[in-house]
């Protein structure tokens, strides 16, 4: 039975990661509060210094399941048309380790009295390496391919568009434009192991509905397309009560898997927010995968003269 379980787990991991050929940026249940990680045009859009940290523990039913940590900082400059930011993502999908270090730049123009269009550029480096524990495995150590393995640092660039008002937003981005092979296989190697960073396209959108004076509804969506991988769809709906408490649910689907989730977010003070998300697979693999947990912390230093309306995204 243990062998069957391991086979299922391996198949699931390969399917979700597109048979190990197309490395994708990690996805988050609370993506709507961490948009700068996928779209550089978002930098400075909250009209204040914004710091977001997120930790995601995925597939708790698997020992050594994927984990992701992110830290992003972004702010408008004195000239409010320009925003800058920094995004750091540490992702460990199995025995692979990815570290993304990227800077963000945006330039906004007003298209109506209440809406703006921002153009964004992202640039930085990605580090790729394998766990030493994996490399120390006798079977792996005996293979000449892995024996010659070294860490890789590779540069990449990205771009994005972000149009928004205080009630709605639309975004289109490609945070990694260059196709990068992080682990080039020697010509004389018999190992078919490729770690490609391929182009991913993100389309995001959301709207805030006023249900009453103290209650709002914010549906949002994210669609992701990666060369060599199935299209992924994230749908979310969140209620906001008294501009303090968010409560909602999510649904994620691609060709191989589907999951549902719940989100809760609390504005502790005007500057500090904490959020939690739970995700659970609803397909046949759920007994083997387990659930996913995500914690988000946000701190913002508000400028009362600059921020003239609530920030819902």
State the greatest distance between any 2 C-alpha atoms of the chain, in Å, as a whole number: 68
Q: Is the pLDDT assigned to residue 283 strictly greater than 50?
A: yes
CB 60 within 8 A of CB 66: no
pLDDT of residue 304: 59
Q: State the alpha helices, DSSP H only, in 190-297.
A: 286-289
pLDDT of residue 189: 52
- Average pLDDT estimate for 232-254: 94
Q: Is residue 309 part of a domain?
A: no
Q: Which residues are within 8 A (CB) of 78 and not within 5 positions of it... i.e. 6 or more apart?
A: none
**Location of structure tokens 């050929």:** 21
CB 27 within 8 A of CB 234: yes
200 sits in which H/E element: strand 200-207
Q: Where does the chain show beta strands of DSSP type E?
A: 22-23, 49-57, 67-76, 82-92, 96-110, 116-130, 152-164, 168-174, 180-181, 196-197, 200-207, 209-210, 215-226, 232-241, 245-253, 258-267, 272-281, 291-301
CA-based nearest residue to 6, from 137, 136, 94: 94
Give the dihedral sign, CA 212/216/217/221: positive
pLDDT of residue 99: 93
β-pair partners for 296: 54, 275
- Predicted TM-score (pTM) of the model is 0.85
Which token pair is 61? 């039913």
Domain with 108, as residue range(s), is 2-269+277-301
Q: Is residue 198 part of a domain?
A: yes
pLDDT of residue 124: 96
Q: Is residue 311 part of a domain?
A: no
Q: Is residue 307 part of a domain?
A: no
pLDDT of residue 138: 67
Give the dihedral sign, CA 303/306/310/313: negative
Paired sense of beta strands 196-197 and 22-23, if any = parallel
Q: Is the pLDDT assigned to residue 151 strictly greater than 90?
A: no
CB 13 within 8 A of CB 223: no
pLDDT of residue 26: 78
Write out pLDDT tens, residues 69-115: 999 999 999 878 999 999 999 998 878 888 999 999 999 999 998 89
Q: Is residue 310 part of a domain?
A: no
Q: Is residue 219 part of a domain?
A: yes
CA-based nearest residue to 160, from 24, 312, 36: 36
pLDDT of residue 85: 97
CB 183 within 8 A of CB 194: yes
Distance of CA 234 to the CA centre of its chain: 12
CA-based nearest residue to 264, from 222, 217, 296, 310: 296
Gap between the Cα atoms of 310 and 27, Å rounded: 26
We report the CATH number of the domain holding residue 86 as: 2.40.160.40
Q: Is residue 312 part of a domain?
A: no
CB 66 within 8 A of CB 26: yes
Write out pLDDT tens, residues 187-200: 555 555 556 677 88
Number of domains forming the structure of the chain: 1
pLDDT of residue 272: 94
CB 98 within 8 A of CB 127: yes
CB 29 within 8 A of CB 261: yes
Which percentage of the chain shows pLDDT scores above 70? 77
- Mean pLDDT is lowest, of 37-46, 112-121, 300-309, for 300-309
CB 231 within 8 A of CB 201: no
**Location of structure tokens 């992110």:** 70
- Average pLDDT estimate for 27-47: 91
β-pair partners for 86: 73, 103
Gap between the Cα atoms of 283 and 127, Å rounded: 33
Q: Is residue 313 part of a domain?
A: no
Q: Which residues are within 8 A (CB) of 56 and not within 5 positions of it... i.e. 6 or more apart?
A: 26, 28, 29, 67, 68, 69, 292, 293, 294
């Amino acid at each position: 039975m243990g062998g069957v379980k391991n086979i299922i787990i391996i198949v699931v991991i390969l399917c979700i990661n597109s048979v190990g050929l197309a490395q994708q940026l990690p996805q988050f249940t609370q993506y709507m509060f961490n948009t700068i990680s996928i779209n550089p045009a978002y930098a400075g859009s909250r009209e204040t210094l914004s710091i977001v940290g997120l930790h995601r523990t995925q597939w708790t039913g698997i020992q050594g399941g994927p984990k992701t940590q992110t830290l992003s900082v972004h702010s408008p400059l004195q000239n409010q048309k320009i925003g800058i930011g920094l995004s750091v993502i540490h992702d460990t999908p199995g025995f692979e380790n990815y570290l993304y270090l990227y800077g963000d730049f945006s330039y906004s123009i007003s298209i109506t009295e209440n809406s703006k269009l921002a153009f964004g550029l992202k640039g930085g480096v990605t580090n790729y390496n394998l766990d030493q524990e994996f490399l120390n495995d006798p079977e792996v150590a005996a293979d000449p391919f892995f024996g010659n393995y070294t860490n890789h640092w590779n540069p990449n660039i990205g771009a994005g568009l972000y149009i928004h008002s205080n009630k709605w937003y639309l975004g289109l981005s490609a945070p990694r434009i260059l196709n990068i092979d992080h682990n080039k296989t020697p010509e004389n190697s018999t190992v078919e192991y490729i770690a490609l960073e391929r182009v991913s396209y993100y389309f995001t959108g959301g709207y805030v509905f006023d249900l009453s004076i103290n209650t709002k509804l914010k549906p949002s969506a994210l669609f992701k397309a990666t060369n060599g991988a199935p299209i992924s769809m994230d749908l979310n709906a969140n209620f906001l009560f008294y501009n303090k408490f968010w409560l909602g649910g999510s649904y994620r689907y691609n060709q191989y898997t589907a999951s549902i989730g719940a989100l809760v977010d609390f504005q502790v003070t005007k500057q500090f927010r904490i959020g939690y998300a739970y995700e659970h697979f609803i397909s046949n693999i759920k007994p083997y995968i387990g659930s996913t947990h995500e914690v988000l912390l946000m701190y913002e230093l508000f400028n009362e003269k600059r921020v003239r309306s609530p920030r819902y995204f």
